Amino acid sequence: MNVHYISEQNSILNHFLTQLRDVTIQKDSMRFRKNIERIGEIMAYELSKKLEYKDIAVQTPLGVKHTTTIAESIVLCSILRAGLALHQGFMNFFDDAENGFVSAYRHHYNNDDEFDILVEYKATPTLTNKSLILIDPMLATGQSLVAVLNKLLVDHQPTQIHIAVVIAAPEGIKHLEENLPDSCNLWVASLDEKLNEKDYIIPGLGDAGDLAYGNKL
């Protein structure tokens, strides 16, 4: 798996990441969603450098310009619900992309720290012969992303697979490297230190879905 760490070079991305983590600023859910969206735009720009392009000629009012345009059909697919704001950022740049949505969550079957990943809802166009960009803000254990991708690959064969996450733990990256095809590309806005005993990212930022859309039952 090819891993791309976007925040290694200082940019406005790190400014938005700082605001996401700040316990006083993140109380403003609208601002939290907007910062996630902005990060999605930055990640979409960086990811776009790895896509395939084709030569075209464009008629302008004064002549013809020979330039390039994206040659791939793109599907943006988010893991509900936390991925929605990040998805919007990608849509702002890949405005011709098709869109898909999948639900995945931790099911604590014994009401303790042990859990399985349940993937229950899937609404996507065909991914076959298209570039899939799978979007999820937090990469903790990596189990959700692997479960979702395995579910999608049962019926679809995308030409490229890109995974975009805002914050990742080393354990999650290792799990993806061990369970996903070598050709996958993982895009990470920020790499954190570790997972705690409950498999939450440290220092992380909290529950991205709750911060963006309110507490759930």
142: left (phi over 0), alpha (psi -120 to 50) or beta: left
* Of residues 94, 97, 114, 96, the one with CA closest to residue 106: 114
Q: What is the pLDDT of residue 117?
A: 75
Domains along the sequence of the chain with CATH: 2-52+70-213 (3.40.50.2020)
pLDDT digits 0-9 by tens, 162-175: 999 999 999 999 99
Q: Which two tokens mark 139?
A: 């990469």
Tens digit of pLDDT for each residue in 136-166? 999 999 999 998 999 899 888 999 999 999 9
Could you read off the pLDDT of 104-114 as tens digits, one per residue?
876 656 665 66
User: How does residue 216 score in pLDDT terms, banded at 50, 70 and 90?
Assistant: confident
Do 164 and 138 meet the contact criterion of CB atoms below 8 Å apart?
no
Predicted local confidence at residue 108, as pLDDT: 57
Q: Give pTM, 2 decimals.
A: 0.92
